[in-house]
Structure 1
Amino acid sequence: MKHGKERQMAGEASRNKVNIGASSLILIFIVLCMATFGLLSLSSAQGDLKLAGRNGEAVQAYYEADSRGQQWLKEVDQVLTEEMGEGKDSTQCSLDIKDRLGELYNRETGLISTDIPMDRGQSLRIELVLMCGEKHYDIKSWYVYASDEYEIDNSMPVWGGAAPSQE
């Protein structure tokens, strides 16, 4: 009788172990999934932080260049006010402006322009059009462009899209 009871207890124990084992495997799988998603979230957050930092630096560089552009515009406005306010004819006024502004003024196009360097090979381009009358100039353009030469890397052979001929 003793052997029968031991077998019955062993059978119950083995059934309980199977049930505990299956739930343990499911729990381990869930914990591994949660850990994986946690690491992916952390990695994504670190990438977002780096991107936000670079974006902040770019915005700061733009506003510094914009501030220097506003200062340049103030100086040019002062020169134009002094030169155009003296009742000179347009030719003499144009020559005097050329003398005062130098290479910034192009007499043929009537444009006053400058490039203000920024970070990462960019520059802020400002172009002004000279005007007669109370308003001495009009802002033609105020934009950021890539001032460094861009070189395309052709060292890796890339498929051009044509099917190879079969002969």
Structure 2
Amino acid sequence: MKARRGFSPPPVGGTTLLAVFAVLCLTVFAVLSLSAVRADDRLSRKSADAVAACYRAEAEAEAVLARLRSGEVPAGVTAENGIYRYQVPVSDTRALRVEVRVQGREYSVLRWETVSADDAVYDSSLAVWDGN
């Protein structure tokens, strides 16, 4: 009797499966790293833009203060009892609010802070059922 010899596919061993799994894992990690780098880049650009906007507002507020010290009252500045108040927009949602007391060449800063430009009043009450 003759033994029948048929075609048998090459055996797929554990080494081949391990190599395929390693390549798949490395591909997934590369894609995740790329998306993390892109997200970090967007965040750093937004942060840099926000810092630049703050510096622009600070410079504009300093320019208004210099004009006040020279005796000129620019548009948008309110005066009450020697105290000058004005706001410089930082972004759509924030503004730099300034209050200074100017007496001749001398001045003192009473307020120099970044505040929310939205003056909305929010309802913070919570309607809770009392069981009746």
TM-score normalised by structure 2 residue count = 0.75
CA 1:31–1:149 in 2, change beyond 3 Å: closer, same or farther?
A: farther
* Higher Cα radius of gyration: 1
In 2, the alpha carbon distance for the partners of 1:113 and 1:79 equals 15
> Offset at 1:101?
6.5
Give me the identity figure in percent: 24
In 2, the alpha carbon distance for the partners of 1:148 and 1:117 equals 11
Structural RMSD (CA): 3.6
Could you say which residue in structure 2 is the equivalent of 1:91? none
Q: Does residue 142 of structure 1 match 2:116?
A: no
Deviations 1:28-80 (A, max 9, x none): 11111111111111111111111111111111111111111111111011118
In 1, the alpha carbon distance for the partners of 2:51 and 2:93 equals 14
Please tell me the residue identity of whatever aligns with 1:147: A
Could you say which residue in structure 2 is the equivalent of 1:87? none
Could you say which residue in structure 2 is the equivalent of 1:62? 54
> Offset at 1:152?
5.9
In 1, the alpha carbon distance for the partners of 2:102 and 2:50 equals 31
Could you say which residue in structure 2 is the equivalent of 1:25? 17
Q: Does residue 114 of structure 1 match 2:106?
A: no
Deviations 1:104-131 (A, max 9, x none): 2112xx4211101122321111111245
> Offset at 1:145?
1.2
CA 1:76–1:140 in 2, change beyond 3 Å: closer, same or farther?
A: same
CA 1:24–1:152 in 2, change beyond 3 Å: closer, same or farther?
A: farther
In 1, the alpha carbon distance for the partners of 2:43 and 2:16 equals 40
Structure 1 ranges of 4+ moved more than 3 A: 100-103, 149-154
Q: How does 1:85-164 map to 2 (within 5 A)?
A: 104-107=78-81, 110-131=82-103, 136-149=106-119
In 1, the alpha carbon distance for the partners of 2:62 and 2:74 equals 16
Which consecutive residues of structure 2, in runs of 5 or more, have no partner in the other structure? none
Report the structure, 1 or 2, having the larger helix content: 1
TM-score normalised by structure 1 residue count = 0.61
Could you say which residue in structure 2 is the equivalent of 1:76? 68
